[in-house]
Structure 1
Amino acid sequence: MKYLCLVYLSEENWNACPDTTCFAFAQQLAQSGHMIAAEPLHPTQTATTVRVRNGQMSMTDGPFAETKEQLAGFYLIDAKDLNEAINWAAKIPPAKFGSIEVRPVRELDLSAATT
């Protein structure tokens, strides 16, 4: 099953974990056969939030939520169950400086689709 491990960091800890450490972990995850994809994100001031309401698009600079920790990157992994996904998430290096949200990826339900 696929799990998305979302890495959240405060702005003070954005660069606390060196890229080389994260890369080494990604290599370990890939060698184990569990990694599907992983990418870091630029800081939140580079984000743009897009909304469409009543057919009108609006854009806002920055992230949607005003929270202490912001989305810093992700690891998309393949794990046999939530426990295995959590065990991998605990090893993600930035977990020492922020938090990792683990969420199962769901398949689209196309059974009710109309043509």
Structure 2
Amino acid sequence: MKYMLLVCGDDTADDSGMTPVEPWVEDLGDRNVRLHGHRLARPADAVTVRVRGGEVLRSDGPFAETKEYVAGYDILECDTLEEAVEAAARHPVATIGAMEVRPFWPMDDEEEGEPEIRALDAELTDAARERDVDRIVACYAPDVEAFHFTTGLEAHGIDAFRKAMEGVFASVTGPVIREVLEFRVRVDESIAFGHALVRLRGTLAGGEPLDDVLRVTTGYRNAGLRWQIVHEHVSVAAVNGEEGS
């Protein structure tokens, strides 16, 4: 189960004797307990936003004036609450401030993201068969970074990616059959990573057959209510012990 660990500092506390946090981060990261986290700027840099009667009210500073404040956060994945509490107790800030351990709201399997990502991959298969560049591009984020073996170049951003896809389809005639031979995906709250073997079949513009097995590594980002591809690296999979590129 995932837990949010809120690291609460105290303006009146003396942190001169506090041990460094890096060993804690490294240890929990090595054990796959700490998934990610970050420090936050000081409360003086916060902006509090309220809407009253349709008017946006903005005030500089934190929601509540207090000597204690949230200095950072960590996302933990633990089997039990007791394990999360033990990890929180080992955090250096626990000796001068406080650590709030809060479970994530429980989600069922349909909310975890994997079904949506597999549906996104199926959309790529359908769009390739229809040679629909617009549908393919819609699966990618505006700031996508992609490398494709056919061009040998990296595409930085959605415009460059669209141009690369148009070049790919210009090199083939008729439908492109995309067959997913293997697909593994690991989903976190807002990011996911996929590893796939994909077979592409079709006919090149010169009449020669296209039949390649590709290794595809994909990074996904949760863009609000849908997932998009933000990183993609495609290479020719190993054939007879040799890896293509």
Q: TM-score, normalised by structure 1?
A: 0.83
Residue 26 (1) aligns with residue 25 (2):
yes
Cα drift, residue 14 of structure 1: 8.2
Query: 5+ unaligned residues in a row in structure 1: which ranges?
Result: none
Structure that is richer in strand per residue: 2
Aligned to 1:7: 7
Aligned equivalents of 2:13 and 2:49: distance in 1? 26
Q: Secondary structure at the match of 2:35?
A: strand
Aligned to 2:74: 75
Aligned to 1:61: 60
Aligned equivalents of 1:52 and 1:108: distance in 2? 29
Aligned to 1:40: 39
Cα drift, residue 41 of structure 1: 1.1
Aligned equivalents of 1:10 and 1:101: distance in 2? 13
Q: TM-score, normalised by structure 2?
A: 0.41
| TM-superposition CA deviations, 1:60-84 (whole Å, max 9, x none) | 1111012220110111100111111
Aligned equivalents of 2:14 and 2:35: distance in 1? 23
Q: Secondary structure at the match of 1:12?
A: coil
Residue 52 (1) aligns with residue 51 (2):
yes
Aligned to 1:100: 99
Aligned equivalents of 1:51 and 1:15: distance in 2? 34
Query: Is 1:26–1:38's contact at 8 Å kept on the other side of the alignment?
Result: no
Report the residue type matching 1:50 in the other structure.
Answer: V
Cα drift, residue 108 of structure 1: 5.8
Aligned equivalents of 1:99 and 1:65: distance in 2? 17
Structure ranking higher on relative contact order (CA contacts 8 Å, 6+ apart) = 1
Aligned pairs, how many? 109
Which range moved further: 53-62 or 88-97?
Answer: 53-62
Query: 5+ unaligned residues in a row in structure 2: which ranges?
Result: 112-245
Aligned equivalents of 1:80 and 1:55: distance in 2? 44
Report the residue type matching 1:7 in the other structure.
Answer: V
Report the residue type matching 1:88 in the other structure.
Answer: A
Classify 1:14/1:44 alpha carbon distance in 2 versus 1 (closer, same or farther; 3 Å): farther
From the CA coordinates, give the structure whose radius of gyration is larger.
2
